[in-house]
Each structure stands twice: as C-alpha cells, then as structure tokens.
Amino acid sequence: MGGYNAGSGIMCCVSSWRRADGNAAPARAKVGGIYAAMALARYEAISLGFDEAITLTANGHVAEGTAENIFLVFGDKIVTPDLGQDLLAGITRASIIELMRSELGLEVIERSVNRSELYFADEVFMCGTAAEVTSVLEIDGRTVGDGGMGATARAVRDLYLEVVHGRLPQYQHWCRPVSAKVEA
C-alpha cells in the first residue's frame, strides 16, 4: 500500500473484481493467480482515485482488501469476515485478533459481513504485513465514522506497533531478531 500517508488513513472503494472462490483456487494460500486478481482490483481503485480496494466474495459478502484483512467496529464489538469467506488466513490477522481479545478485552466476532455494513460501521480498519494497522476513512465516497482514525483502530495500531517493535515482553516469542552484516 503506497502513494499515500497510511498513517492518517485511506480511502477505499468496493471493487467490481471478486475474490476468487475457494473452489476455484485455494483461498487460504498465497497463489499467484489470486494476486493477479487482487492487482486488478487495486488498479481499478487507484484509477478511480482511491487508495485501496475492498473485495467481495462470489456471493457478494465482504472478503478483504487486496493485501489486507478488514475489521469493522460497531460500538464495542469488532466484526471481521470469517475464514469461510475465501480470504487469506493471515498471520497479522490472527495476531490482531488475539491482541484485541487478550490485551484490549474487545469482543471479536468472525462472521459473514454484508457489503452494506461497510457504510454503517463506526470504524473500519485493515491489517496486513505491509499495511500494519491502517484506518479506512472513506468507502465509496461515504465517510466512515467521523472521518478520522477512531479510538479502537488507534488502540489496536498502537498495541500492534509495541508488539512488533519488541517492546512487550509477553510477545517476544512473536519477534525474530534480524541482524545484517553491513559492508562498507
């Protein structure tokens, strides 16, 4: 996700391209053909002036972004598409769900998500290896919440960054030290 300041949030559209059905390609695998379809969705979004696309399943339910999982906030509940929605079961997704439940005490509900729910959520955010935790400010020209990063997304992002930067001892086992030999 590049070309914009993801720190302040992103503008998304629902793509006309659908997420590949799990019976056509293994949805939980990082398969090249699925990436090609996601590249088409992202290109469509960018060509329409958006930062990112949200994809739907073959049945019209919310799946994910082109390289990110998606979460919707309704009051004190977090809703995210379940793994039966032909989405990538990402490590970042699983980590975010665990952190929201165990550290923030949030109720996370994994279920089918209707497209219309995107437009009525209090907050929407995405997560992924490159995206980390990114707030969605607008979907299809409709402002999400108050148009800024919401309190839940901010708390999740801040906690996630503490973990990935190795500042929380209880999650050190999630981190792998990287050392590089620098040649002059």
pLDDT over threshold 80, residue 96: yes
Higher pLDDT, 45 or 34: 45
Look-up of token digits 């629902």: 14
- Which amino acid would we find at residue 144? V
pLDDT in tens, 159-180: 999 999 999 999 999 988 777 7
Q: How far apart are CA 54 and CA 44, in angstroms?
A: 11
Q: Walk me through the domains of the chain, giving residue ranges and CATH numbers.
A: 60-174 (3.20.10.10)
Q: Which residues contact 101 (CB under 8 A, 6 or more apart)?
A: 107, 108
Q: How far are the Cα atoms of 62, 68, 76, 87, 121 from residue 79, in angstroms, in the given order?
A: 11, 15, 10, 15, 10
> Average pLDDT over the chain, rounded to whole?
88
The per-residue DSSP string of 81-106 comes to E-GGGS----HHHHHHHHHHHHTS--
Q: pTM for the full model? A: 0.88
pLDDT over threshold 60, residue 94: yes
Bridge partners, 13 (sequence order)? 53
pLDDT band at 45, cuts 50/70/90? Answer: very high
Q: Judge whether 181 counts as a catalytic residue.
A: no
Q: Which of 30, 165, 173, 176 is catalytic?
A: 30
